[in-house]
Each structure stands twice: as C-alpha cells, then as structure tokens.
Homo-oligomer: A and B are copies of this chain.
Amino acid sequence: MFVIVVYDVDVERVNKVNKYLKRYLFWVQNSVFEGEINKDLMDKMMSGLSKILKEKDSAVVYIFDGFRIERKILGVVKGFTDNII
C-alpha cells in the first residue's frame, strides 16, 4: 500500500519523529513522508509513532490501497473524524 504521513508535533520531538519515519518511508518535505509499505511494517510504524507522540502532537496517515483512501489520525484530531474518505 502507498502511504503519506503528515505530522504536526512539538518542536522538541520533530527530530525524533523524522528519524523514526525515515526507517519506513521517504522524506518529501517539511513534516511529510511517503512510500510503499506492507501491512506488517505499516502496523509496526503506526504503533511506534503512537508511542512517540505526546500532548498536542498529531499525525495524519493517508493509506491508498487501490480505489479506497483511508485516513488514520494519531494523537490529537484537529480537522476530521471520518476514517474513510
């Protein structure tokens, strides 16, 4: 599956999140990563990322598996609550 991760975290944790996401995905731009990933690694990445996020941190993960676009939000929900777009 193809995923895009966009994070919005406290400046203290930016480097930690960057380093962590680089293990799984490619850096695109300020706070944006993307890449192809299988389900097992995806689950591992989501679980690890959840543990890094604190307080008002937030990450939006877009998952593209064929026609269906799924949105998962880790940390604080800032904009939307629906999981399926």
Contacts A66-B67, A67-B67, A69-B64 known; A29 to B4 CB distance under 8 Å? no
The count of identical subunits is 2
User: Cα distance A80–B35 when bound, in Å?
Assistant: 11
A84 CB, nearest partner CB in chain B, Å: 12
What interface size band does chain A fall in? 20 to 34
Q: Is the CB of B79 within 8 A of A28?
A: yes
- C-beta contact mask, A49-76 vs B, less than 8 Å → 1, else 0? 0000000001010101011010000000
Q: Is the CB of A29 within 8 A of B58?
A: yes
The one of B29, B64, B69, B85 in contact with A6, judged by C-beta atoms closer than 8 angstroms, is: B29
B contact residues around A2 at 8 Å (CB) = 69, 85
Binding site for B on A (CB under 8 A): 2, 4, 6, 8, 26-32, 34, 58, 60, 62, 64, 66-67, 69, 78-80, 85
